[in-house]
Chains A and B, each alone.
Chain A
Amino acid sequence: MTPRRSVILDLCVQAEFHTLLLLSLYLLFAGHNQPGGGFAGGLVASCAFGLRYVAGGSSALSRSISIPATTFLGVGMLFAILTGCVSLLTGHEFLESAIFSADLMVLGTVKTSSVLFFDIGVYLVVLGMALLLLEQLGGADGTDPDEVQP
C-alpha cells in the first residue's frame, strides 16, 4: 500500500518552510541578547526540513536542498574551530571573544561579537546532523519503504 500525499499538509509546509528558515536565522542572530542562539536556530531549521520530509518523503527533501548533509557538518566544525584559531592567532586564548560594533548609517549601530561565528558553526552542525539522520533513516537513496507518491 502506498500512502498518498496529503494536499493540505503539502501546501501548509510550502507556506511555512521559508518562514521557518527565516525564523531559524533570526534565532541565530538574535541569540546573543534574546532567547535563541545557534543551537535553537539549528533545531528550527532542522524541523523545517523535517516537515518537508513528512509532507513529501525523501525525494522532496533532496529536492529542497542539494548540499550534502556532511558538508554542513564539516563546514560547521570548520567555522567553530577557525573562530577559536583566529583568537589564538591574534594573541588571545583559544575561543576568547572580541566585540565589534559598526555604524551602519541609517540602520543604526550594530554590535556583535566574534562568538557569532562560533554560533554559526553550532547552527550548521545541528542542521547537518538532522539532515544526515533524515537522509539515512528516511532513505534518501530511493530505498525508502514509505516513499510518498505525488
Chain B
Amino acid sequence: MFVLILAFGCVAAVLPALAARIGRGVFYVAAAVPAAAFIWGVGAYGQIADSGPLIEQAAWVPQLGLTLGLRFDGFAFLMLSLVAGIGVLVFIYAGSYFHAEPIIGRFAATLLLFSGSMVGLVLADNLLALFLFWELTSITSYLLISIEDEKTAARSGAMQALLITGMGGLAMLGGFVLLGEAAGTYSMAELLARPPSGAVVNVALVLVLIGAFTKSAQVPFHSWLPRAMNAPTPVSSYLHSATMVTAGVYLVARFTPAFADYSLWRPLVISFGLASMLIGAYRSLRQHDLKLLLAYGTISQLGLMMLLFGVGTKESIFAGCTLLLAHGIFKAALFMLVGIIDHQSKTRDLRKLDRLGAQWPVVAAAAGVVAASMAGIPPLFGFIAKEEALGALGETGFAWGVPVLIGVVIGSSFTVAYSARFVWGAFGPRPVSMIPHQGSVRNEAVGQQVPKPSKMFLAPVVVLAALTLLFGLFPSLIDPVIARAYASLVGVRAEDHLALWPGFTQALALSAVAIGAGFALFWWRLRVEKLQDSMPKVASAQRGYDRTVKGLLEGADAVTGFVQHGSLPIYLGVILLTMIVLPGVPLLSDGVMPDLWFADSPMQVVVGFIMIVCACAAAVARRRFAAVLLVGAVGYGMAALFVIQGAPDLAITQLLIETLGVGVFVLAFRHLPADFVRPKFRRSQGAQIAIALLAGVFVFLFTLFAIGARTEPSISGEYLDKAYSEAGGNNVVNVIVVDFRGFDTMGEIVVLAVAALGVAALVRAKRSPAEVEP
C-alpha cells in the first residue's frame, strides 16, 4: 500500500516535464496510476474476503513511538474504488477538456497528487497519518482551484477553501490528539474497538466534527464550496463532488459505530446534516449557473449522508454506504456534463441555454439518466439509495425519528425539483427562470450551432450513466461491496440487501410523495422563485466569512501597529530592559561571585588596558568611522587575549571577523552622515543613557557570575579525549564545530545565508522604491 501511495507522487513528479513533450496526452498517462490503484484494490478485495483487513506498518518517528499504519478493509475498498475509479474517468475527461494550455502539466501533476493523498486518506489507520493526508487534500485542492492563477475569483475562492478546511483540519488534529492520548493509541482501528470515555472525549468529538463539517461543506461552513466552483470542471467533478468533500462523511462513518451513543454525537451530526440538506437544496433551486446549482445540491446530498451516518443505526449506516457510492457516481457525471456544455457552448447559464437536447441526444439521455438517479427515480441506483435511506430513517425507534424523516422527505422533493431544473435548464426550451440577468449580459439564447462534443469527451459520462443504471437494475452486482463496507464499519455481517423492488413499504410511499412534490415544485418554478425572492434575507455564510476575515486582518493590523511602532530607540530600549531585568533579578538574588585574580601574565594587563581605552574612546567618538575603527581595535585586542591563552583557532576567527566586520560597517556607513547626530540633551535621553549604562554593567556582571556558576565538571575534557579517537581530528575546536556540534553549525550557516539574503533584499528595496512598491 505504501508503494501504491508513493507511485502517485513519483508519477506526478515527472508529469510536468512530460506535458511539455506530449501535451494533453499526459492525462492518459496519469490515468494509468489510479487505474493501477483500482486494479490493486479489486485484487486486495478478494484477499480481505478470505483473511480480514490488510495491514501495513512502517516506523515513522520511532523515537516518539509513531507508526505509520495503513489498513485496507471493506469500507476502504468502497472509498478507494470511488477515488480511483472516478479518478481514471476524470483524467480521461480532462484529456478532452483541456487543449494545449501551458498549465496542463502542473494541473495533471497536482490532480494526481490529490488522488494519491485521497487514497492515503482512505487507507490511513494512524490518526496522525490520516490528518497528514487530510491536509494534503486541502492543499492540493487549494492549488487546483487556483490553477488558473490569473483569475482573481479563482485565487480568492481557493484561499477561502483553504482557510475554512484548514481551520477545520486544525480543530480535528486537536480532537485526534485528545482522543489518542485518552485511548493510549493513535491507531484508528484500536481506538474504535475500545473507545475511551470521559468528559475529554466529548470535547474531542466536537473538534473532530468541526473538521468533518468544514471538509464536507456543512452549513454554516459551506460557503467555500460554491466559490470553489471557479476551478476547472474536472476538479469540481472529482474533488468537490465525488471524493474530497466526502472525506468528512468518511470520518463520521468510521467514528459513528463507536461514538454514536455519546451525548453530543447524534444531536450535532443530525442537526447539521439536516440543516445542510435543506438549506443546500433550497438554495440550489435558485441558481441559474448550472455548476452552482450542482454545488448547492452537493451540500444538500452531503448533509443527507452526514445525517444517515450520524443516526448510527445499522440500517442507516448501510443506507449511508449506498448513498456514498450512488452520489459519487451520479454527481461526478453531472459535473462532467456541465463541463461539456460549458466547453462547447461557452456558457453554463441555464437562462441562455436553449434546446441543446435536440442537437445532442446522447448527452441529453445520459444527463437524464444521472439526474434522475440524483432525484431518486426508479429504476436507478440513486432510487435504491434513497429508498434505503427513507427506510432506515423510518425505523430508527428514536423520538426525533419522525421530524427528521419529514425533513428528509422535504429535502428529497427539493432534490427532485433541482434535478429537473438542471435537465430542463440545460437541454430543454427556455424560459426556466425569471431571475433577471445582471450587468451587461444580454438575454441571448445559446443553443444553435453548438459543436458536438467528441466521443472521448463524452465517454466517461456515458460510463457513469451506464453504471448508475446497471446498479439500479441489478443491485445484486454491487450488494456484496456495500455489505462488506458495512461489515467493516459495524463489525457484523449485513442483514440488509439492496433491492430494486422492496414491495409496498412506507419508504416507497414517501419516495412517491417526494417525487410528486418535487415535480410540482418544478412545474410552478416561476412562482417558487417569486416566493423565494419575497423571503427576507437571512444571514449569509459568505458574508460571515468575509466579516471574519476582515476582522482578523484589522485585528492583526491593530496589534502590529501597537507592537511595531517603528521607533528604533524604543525597540532597543525594550530589548535591553528585558535582557537586564529577566536574567538580572535571579542573578542578584542567587548568583555566586567567583574567586577573582588579577592576571595570568603581564601581557594580559597591557592588552586589557588598550582594550579599555579603545572601548571608552569608541563611546565618546564624534565620527562614525572613528567609532567603528575603535570597536574593531577592541576586537583585535580580544584576539590577542586568545593568543595569549593559547587558542589559535579562536584568535584567527576573531581577527578575521573583526577585519571583515569593519569593512562591512564602512560600506554601510557611507549611506549615513559622517558624524553622529548630537542633539541637545533632553530628558528622554536621560533614560536612554541610564539603560545603556545598566546594560553595560549587566553584561559585565553576567559574565563574572557565569564563570562562577559552574556546578558540573567542564565538558571540554571529554571533547579533548574523543576528538582524535572518535572524529579523527587533532584540532578540537574544528571537530566540535563540524562534528560534535555539526547540527548547530548547520543551523548557523542557514542563519548566515538567510541573513545575507535579507540584507541584500533590504538594500535592494531601499535602492529602487519604485520597483518594490506594488
Q: Enumerate chain A interface residues (CB-CB to B < 8 A).
A: 27, 31-40, 43-44, 46-47, 50, 54, 69-70, 73, 76-77, 80-81, 84, 94-95, 97, 99, 111, 113, 115, 118-119, 121-122, 125-126, 128-130, 132-138, 143, 145-146
Contact = CB atoms under 8 A, between A and B. Distances in A.
A34 B731 contact: yes
Given A77-B753, A122-B749, A137-B668, A33 B660 contact: no
A14 B125 CA distance: 67
A33 B739 contact: no
Given A80-B746, A113-B728, A125-B753, A35 B738 contact: no
A149 to B, nearest CB: 17
A44 B656 CA distance: 7
B729 A113 contact: yes
A97 B734 CA distance: 13
A122 B745 contact: yes
7 contacts: A33-B731, A37-B734, A95-B743, A97-B742, A125-B752, A136-B760, A146-B670
Given A32-B730, A32-B734, A46 B660 contact: yes
A135 B667 CA distance: 10
A136 B760 CA distance: 6
Contact of B664 (A31, A137, A143, A146): A137
B727 interface: yes
Interface stretch (B524-532, B556-564, B647-655): B647-655
A82 to B, nearest CB: 12
Main secondary structure of the interface of B (DSSP, over half): helix
A118 B742 contact: yes
Interface residues of B, number: 40
A126 B660 CA distance: 11
B733 interface: yes
B657 interface: yes
Given A40-B649, A95-B742, A134-B664, 7 more contacts: A31-B731, A32-B728, A36-B652, A43-B660, A122-B749, A132-B759, A145-B670
- For B649, B667, B757, B764, the residue with the greatest tally of chain A CB atoms inside 10 Å of its CB is B667
B738 A38 contact: yes
A95 B746 contact: yes
B102 interface: no
A124 B230 CA distance: 47
B730 A33 contact: yes
B763 interface: yes
A96 to B, nearest CB: 9
Contact of A40 (B652, B749, B767): B652
Interface string B367-388: 0000000000000000000000
B743 A94 contact: yes
Nearest to B728: A99
B750 interface: yes
B739 A97 contact: yes
Interface in B712-752: 727-731, 733-735, 737-739, 742-743, 745-746, 749-750, 752
Nearest to B662: A50
A92 B763 CA distance: 42
Contact of B756 (A43, A44, A129): A129
B542 interface: no
A32 B653 CA distance: 15
A36 B667 contact: no
A138 B749 contact: no
A36 B734 contact: yes
B752 A50 contact: no
Contacts of B657: 43
6 A-B pairs with least C-beta separation = A43-B656, A129-B756, A33-B730, A137-B667, A32-B729, A35-B648
B763 A136 contact: yes
Contacts of A134: 664, 667
A47 B655 CA distance: 11
Contacts of A31: 731, 734
Contact of B727 (A39, A69, A115): A115
A113 B660 contact: no
- For A80, A126, A133, the residue with the greatest tally of chain B CB atoms inside 10 Å of its CB is A133
Contacts of B757: 70, 73, 132
Interface in B657-683: 657, 659-660, 663-664, 667-668, 670
